[in-house]
Amino acid sequence: MKQRKVTIDLAWANVFALLFFAFVALSSSAAWYVLWGSPSFNDFGGNFLTGVNPLGAAVLVFVILVSGIVAHELIHGITWACFAKHGFRSIRFGVIWAMLTPYCHCKEPLIIRHYRLGALTPLIILGILPLLLAYPLRSVPLLLWGIIFITSAAGDILIVWKLRKEPASLLVQDHPKEAGCIIFEPDVEDDAI
């Protein structure tokens, strides 16, 4: 089998994430404005925020965001573990401290279709669904959550975009040291047998 590396540059991924954030934030806010106009105090949580200690609120927001980041990586792991031969034993978590980038790594090959699904599941569960729910529920916190967690999937979106033209049945494995994956292609002789 031939191996081919498909990776993304983390510095570029962070720049892309900032640009993507601007796009998602502006388009989501514009949609909110068309539907509801300018947000009111109640759209932000209203009476829930009355008398809240600002430092306590900041700590709570920080804890909620860190919990969301952990959930993002866990969702990757759970999804990939469903398709990995050795289940959750094939999943590893960590942080690339130089780029402040948490990661989930699957140590065994998956077919590209399953790899893509595992890459995009946190985007759907933590980003798109809360954003879509924010509008009918008229909830600015859900809107902000959706914007943040759609944006936090920028690297995942870049990898899936790079894999868009690959056959869904090929094997792919997370790259052990870089942001991306290794595609396993059958040799021409393997196809002839």
DSSP 8: -
- pLDDT (tens digit per residue) in 47-81: 665 667 778 778 888 999 999 999 999 999 999 99
pLDDT score recorded for residue 43:
74
19 within some domain? yes
189 within some domain? no
The residue segments making up the domain with residue 138 are: 9-37+57-165
Residue 73 · residue 102 · CB < 8 Å? yes
Average pLDDT over residues 115-139: 96
71 within some domain? yes
- Give me the number of domains the chain comprises: 1
The reported pTM is: 0.87
C-alpha 13/C-alpha 120 separation (Å) is 16
Phi, psi of 72 (to 5 degrees): -55, -50
pLDDT score recorded for residue 11:
83
